[in-house]
Every structure is written in C-alpha cells, then in structure tokens.
C-alpha cells in the first residue's frame, strides 16, 4: 500500500465524515499544541523503542529523528503553521508533519501505540516541567519575603487575631509567616512533579503494547524515573494533574491571604505599607488615589484556580475505568491555572520586594498598651498566681483603665494594687513592648533572636532545595 484515502488517524471503518459542528467540538489542537515539544520527544524515544523490537531499522530511525528536528525548527520559525493547521489534535499534527517529511515511512511510527498513552505521557512531561518552573517562582517569592524580613528586623507590629489588637510581634515575623506558607507550597509542587514522574508509554490503548518494547529505556530516554505499573490505570490516571492543580490552588489561597494583608496594610486606616507605584493603578476620577490593583487581582484570580481543581475533579468523577474522551477536558483548566499562578507569583514577588513599610507608624501602633495586657497576667503568674486568676485580675485592671479613659499602663499604681496587690513596679517593668518581644525567643517565637534564626533556617532550607531565585 502506498496511498491512504485521507490523512485522518482513524478513517478506515467510516462511510461518512463527522458532522461539521461535532467535528469542531471534538478538536483539541487549539490548546493541546502546547504539548508539541513533548510529543516530538516521545516520538524520538518511541521510534528507538520500535528499533529495539525490529519494527524500524537504525537508518529509518535516523531519518525519522532528522525529520522530527526539522519539524521542531519549522514550528519555532513559523508560528502560523500551528495557527493555520487543520489538525484534529497534536498527535494528528505530528503524524501529518512526519508524512509530509518522510512519506509512507511515517506511517510506521504509530506502531503498537495509542493516542491514549501518548497524551498521558505528554501531559505528564508538561506537569513535571511546569511544577519545576513553579517551584522556582514560589522560591523567588519566599526569598523576597525573607529579604524584607531581614531588612525590617526589629520593627514591631501590632499582632492581631479576629482583626483585633492581640499581642505585639515583629513585622519580620509576619513576613516569615507568609514565607512558611509558600515553603509548604514548594513541597506540594515537588510532590506533584513526583506523581507525574512515571512513563506510561508501552501501555497501548489500554491493554499494553503487543511488541515487547523496553519500557525502562523509554522512560529513561524521556527523563522519567519510573514506569507506570498498570496499562489500564496508566491511560486514565490524571492524579498527577489533580496534584498539580491542588498545589496551584494552595499557592493561590496563600497568595490571596498575602494580598488581603497587603491591601489592608496599604489602606489609610492601617497606613503600614507604601504601595509601590509599579504595582498600583490610579483612579480615572479621583486624582489622589493609588489603588492596590495588583493585590486585588491576585486575590480575585484565586477563584479561577480553585475552580480549575474543581473542574478536573468533576470531570473525573464517575468515569469508568480506562481512557474516555472526557479526559481531553483535563488540559485547558490546568494550562490556564498554570499561566495565571505563574503570573500571580511573579507579580507578588515584585510587589513584596518593592513595598516600603512606614516604621514610625508601625512602632506607634504597636505601642498600644492594650497589646501588653497578657504580659500583666503573665507577670502575676510569675508571682505565683494561677493563670486563670491572673487573667481575671488583668481583665479587671484593663476594665478600670477603660472606665478612667486611659491606657492601663497609666493607671496610678495604687488603683492597680487595689485590684491586684501582687503588682509592683518590677511587675509593671515586665509589661513593656521590648520585654514582651524579648521573652519570646523560643524557636518559632517572635523575639528578634528567634526571628533571625528563622530567617537563617529558611535560607538554608531554600538553598538545600537548590530553589533559590
Ligand atoms: N485529544 C485527546 C485527549 O486530549 C487525546 C487522544 C484521544 N484519544 C482517542 N482515543 N480519541 O485526551
């Protein structure tokens, strides 16, 4: 046979072509062309595997590899080739391009394999690369937060719970709290890459390849460290994509918290942070406005990242075993989520690095004596009182101060002693901002020494990962 009736990958048993609208509907090339570099790599490895089982000669493999190189170059040189192609999907595109280059020899390339395993292999390679690049971006944000923590070391911040003044902390401690969250995201990304790292080639459409190809060699060739264990599972498993989307949703959720804090801190009410011009926009009406749109958009885009995870989970729910065409719906949400989170991380890292803090304002607000009321209870505990009793007395003292309309630290000592005779001048001296911070140098605490150690630890962890930006 030297000719075929059309260039389709599956036309033989059909009398009529597909309905026009349906045909448009089922095509995936408009988005899966993004996997072309991986598809070409899989073709290189697969043809070597076919040589191993005697389907192709060494000379044929050389010809095919040279053709794949030319296709690679042409893709890079002529973007319109992809835009204008009428290929159904990236596998069809590649086969057509090979036929154009090689004629009937190209028809041998698909021996023993299926698009089901091809698309799984391509998508796994994409996720491995994507997760690695996302780790670099997340690490850059962790670095930006750590650098700011280092720069502002010693500056206090009125720590809050329930958005109410709680206890003093260091601004650096706050920044490192965000850095910790993104460090966990690094681990999740690593897990997603690991879960993608298994080569499905040799699984066939579902039953495994009928030619005894060397699956280990195929995996090695493609940069996978292992092979998938079950051909039926391999053509339908998208857990690696779920893992990646979960990692992205985690990053987006953490970014939305950083965004919310940043929007609040830049507000006139807080006035802690000065928004960098580079990451703000103005108002078309109010000349004085500088709006934190970068953070608002980051916070806002979190919705679609979460939705991408839900979208794939919903697609996968209730699918029978084996490959189903539903699985084609896995790529668009993942590509979109990947692109958005990449941009979100880059912008967040830039905005964090360029944010300036108003340290006078931070110090003034952190000087609120209400933040030191727990210190008073603790001072009473150090004088032998049970904590619950000390808490009650400190509360009564705070209430008396409220009644007298002054900070509790400015109550006359005799008024304090009427409520709690155990309080003396030494106890009051224990209730300062500096003393409060200095008592919290235990690991993980907000004392300056502890925070300095935390910065060092974070940097060591980052460089061990080899993920420093
Ligand atoms: N375009 C399909 C997908 O993304 C890949 C191949 C389809 N396989 C098939 N037997 N129709 O999942």
Express each pLDDT in 237-246 by its tens digit.
Answer: 999 999 999 9
Residue 363 confidence (pLDDT) above 70? yes
Which ligand 1 atom lies nearest to the CA of residue 88?
1
Among 10, 29, 95, 115, the mutation site with the greatest number of ligand 1 atoms within 8 A of its Cβ is: 115
* List 133, 210, 267, 283, catalytic entry: 283
Is residue 8 very low, low, confident or very high in pLDDT (cuts 50, 70, 90)?
confident
CB 267 within 8 A of CB 217: no
Ligand 1 and 116: CB distance under 6 A: yes
Residue nearest to ligand 1 atom 6, measured at CA:
115
Q: How far is the CA of 104 from the centre of ligand 1 (A)?
A: 23
Cα separation of 448 and 383, whole Å? 26
Cα separation of 456 and 402, whole Å? 42
Ligand 1 and 325: CB distance under 6 A: yes
Q: Which of 105, 118, 130 is nearest to 189 (CA)?
A: 130
* Percent of the residues in the chain that have a pLDDT greater than 90, as a whole number: 94
CB 242 within 8 A of CB 195: no
Which ligand 1 atom lies nearest to the CA of residue 90?
1
CB 243 within 8 A of CB 192: yes
Domains of the chain, CATH where assigned: 11-108 (1.10.275.10), 115-358 (1.20.200.10), 368-438 (1.10.40.30)
Q: How far is CA 9 from CA 109, 303, 399, 440, in A?
A: 12, 38, 81, 68
Residue 468 confidence (pLDDT) above 70? no
Q: What is the tens place of the pLDDT at every residue in 50-95?
A: 999 999 999 999 999 999 999 999 999 999 999 999 999 999 999 9
Ligand 1 and 262: CB distance under 6 A: no
Ligand 1 and 30: CB distance under 6 A: no
Q: What is the tens place of the pLDDT at every residue in 256-305?
A: 999 999 999 999 999 999 999 999 999 999 899 999 999 999 999 999 99
Q: How far is the CA of 328 from the centre of ligand 1 (A)?
A: 6
Q: How far is the CA of 119 from the centre of ligand 1 (A)?
A: 7
Is residue 168 very low, low, confident or very high in pLDDT (cuts 50, 70, 90)?
very high
The overall average pLDDT reported for the chain is: 96
Q: How far is the CA of 143 from the centre of ligand 1 (A)?
A: 41
Q: What is the tens place of the pLDDT at every residue in 98-125?
A: 999 999 999 999 999 999 999 999 999 9
Ligand 1 and 236: CB distance under 6 A: no
- Give the pLDDT score at 77: 97
Is residue 3 very low, low, confident or very high in pLDDT (cuts 50, 70, 90)?
low
Ligand 1 and 294: CB distance under 6 A: no
Among 33, 91, 95, 119, the mutation site with the greatest number of ligand 1 atoms within 8 A of its Cβ is: 119
Ligand 1 and 87: CB distance under 6 A: no
Q: How far is the CA of 28 from the centre of ligand 1 (A)?
A: 8
Residue 469 confidence (pLDDT) above 50? no
Q: How far is the CA of 236 from the centre of ligand 1 (A)?
A: 11
Outline where DSSP puts E strands in 14-132.
none
Cα separation of 184 and 166, whole Å? 26
Q: How far is the CA of 48 from the centre of ligand 1 (A)?
A: 23
- Give the pLDDT score at 15: 85
- Fill in the DSSP letter of residue 319: P
- Give the pLDDT score at 339: 98
Among 116, 127, 335, the mutation site with the greatest number of ligand 1 atoms within 8 A of its Cβ is: 116
Based on the residue annotation, tell me whether 165 is a catalytic residue of this protein.
Answer: no
Residue nearest to ligand 1 atom 12, measured at CA:
328
Residue nearest to ligand 1 atom 2, measured at CA:
328
Helices (H), 78-114: 79-83, 90-102
How far is Cα of residue 353 from the mean position of the Cα atoms in its chain? 19
Based on the residue annotation, tell me whether 147 is a catalytic residue of this protein.
Answer: no
């Amino acid at each position: 046979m030297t000719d075929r009736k059309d260039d389709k990958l599956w036309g033989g048993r059909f009398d009529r072509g597909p309905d026009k609208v349906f045909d448009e509907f089922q095509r995936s090339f408009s988005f899966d062309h993004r996997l072309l570099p991986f598809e070409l790599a899989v073709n290189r490895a697969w043809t070597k595997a076919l040589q191993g089982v005697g389907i192709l000669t060494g000379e044929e493999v050389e010809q095919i590899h040279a053709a794949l190189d030319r296709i690679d170059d042409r893709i890079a040189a002529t973007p319109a080739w992809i835009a204008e192609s009428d290929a159904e999907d990236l596998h069809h595109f590649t086969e057509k391009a090979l036929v154009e280059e090689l004629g009937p020899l190209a028809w041998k390339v698909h021996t023993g394999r299926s698009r089901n395993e091809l698309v799984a292999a391509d998508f796994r390679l994409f996720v491995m690369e994507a997760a690695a690049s996302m780790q670099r971006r997340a690490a850059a944000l962790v670095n930006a937060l750590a650098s700011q923590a280092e720069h502002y070391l010693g500056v206090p911040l009125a720590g809050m719970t329930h958005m109410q003044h709680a206890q003093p902390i260091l601004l650096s401690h706050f920044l490192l709290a965000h850095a910790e969250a993104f460090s966990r995201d690094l681990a999740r990304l690593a897990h997603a890459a690991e879960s993608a790292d298994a080569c499905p080639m040799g699984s066939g459409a579902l039953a495994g390849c009928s030619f005894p190809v060397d699956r280990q060699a195929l995996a090695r060739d493609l940069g996978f460290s292992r092979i998938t264990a079950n051909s039926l599972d391999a053509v339908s498993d998208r857990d690696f994509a779920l893992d990646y989307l979960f990692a992205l949703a985690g990053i987006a959720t953490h970014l939305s918290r950083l965004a919310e804090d940043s929007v609040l801190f830049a507000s006139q009410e807080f006035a802690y942070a000065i928004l960098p011009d580079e990451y703000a926009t103005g108002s078309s009406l109010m000349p004085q406005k500088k709006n934190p749109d970068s953070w608002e958009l980051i916070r806002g885009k979190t919705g679609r990242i979460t939705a991408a995870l839900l979208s794939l989970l919903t697609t996968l729910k209730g699918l029978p075993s084996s490959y189903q065409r539903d699985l084609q719906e896995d790529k668009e949400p993942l590509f979109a989520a990947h692109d958005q989170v990449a941009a979100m991380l880059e912008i967040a890292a830039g905005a964090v690095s360029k944010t300036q803090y108003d340290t006078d304002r931070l110090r003034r607000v952190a000087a609120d004596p209400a933040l030191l009321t727990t210190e008073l209870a603790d001072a009473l505990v150090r004088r032998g009182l049970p904590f619950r009793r000390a808490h009650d007395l400190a509360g009564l003292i705070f209430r008396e101060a409220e009644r007298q309309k002054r900070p509790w630290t400015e109550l006359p000592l005799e008024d304090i002693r009427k409520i709690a005779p155990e309080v003396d001048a030494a106890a009051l001296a224990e209730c300062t901002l500096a003393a409060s911070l200095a008592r919290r140098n235990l690991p993980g605490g907000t004392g300056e020494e502890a925070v300095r150690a935390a910065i060092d630890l974070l940097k060591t962890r980052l460089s061990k990962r080899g993920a420093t930006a």
